């Protein structure tokens, strides 16, 4: 009988990548998020901003007709970008820092 994944159990980085491709956030959406996140930081001219400001800027910079990121998908995408060393999310202060 297959075991269900316990969210408190650590997941290996390889399993996270496989999870991305099987459901949490699609590769195309993640690529889009990475692109518009980079643009949002460049437009602001700073390397950090709040989660809420980044989400607003990301959704403003999406291509016409592309669905807006909702909070859950946005945070899942940030988790993946953090795993790629593109951003660092500082939960205690609600900040996202761009990593060069």
Q: What is the pLDDT of residue 9?
A: 38
Instruction: Judge whether residue 5 has pLDDT over 60.
Output: no
Instruction: Judge whether residue 4 has pLDDT over 90.
Output: no
CA dihedral 8→54→24→63, nearest 10 degrees, is 180
Locate 86 and state its tokens. 């593109």
Which are the contacts of 83, defined by CB distance < 8 A and separation ≥ 6?
13, 16, 17
The model's pLDDT over 8-48, given as tens digits with 9 standing for 90+, comes to 434 434 444 434 343 489 999 999 999 999 999 999 999 99
Residues linked to residue 88 through DSSP beta bridges, in sequence order: 97
Mean per-residue pLDDT of the chain: 83
Q: What is the pLDDT of residue 100?
A: 74
Query: Using an 8 Å Cβ cutoff, are 56 and 99 in contact?
Result: no
Rg of the chain taking only CA atoms, in angstroms: 14
Query: Using an 8 Å Cβ cutoff, are 55 and 74 in contact?
Result: yes
- Rounded to the nearest 5°, which phi and psi values hold at 3? -90, 145
Instruction: Judge whether residue 93 has pLDDT over 60.
Output: yes
Lookup result for tokens 């690529």: 31
Q: What is the pLDDT of residue 18?
A: 37
Assign domain 13-98 to its CATH architecture: Orthogonal Bundle (1.10)
Quote the pTM value. 0.75
Q: What is the pLDDT of residue 12?
A: 38
């Amino acid at each position: 009988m297959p075991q269900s994944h316990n969210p408190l159990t650590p997941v290996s980085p390889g399993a996270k990548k496989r999870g991305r491709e099987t459901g949490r956030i699609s590769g195309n959406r993640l690529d889009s998020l990475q692109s518009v996140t980079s643009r949002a930081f460049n437009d602001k001219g700073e390397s950090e901003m709040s989660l809420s400001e980044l989400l607003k800027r990301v959704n403003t910079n999406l291509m016409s007709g592309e669905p807006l990121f909702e909070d859950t998908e946005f945070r899942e995408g940030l988790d993946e970008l953090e795993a790629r060393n593109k951003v660092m999310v500082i939960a205690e202060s609600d900040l996202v820092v761009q990593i060069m």
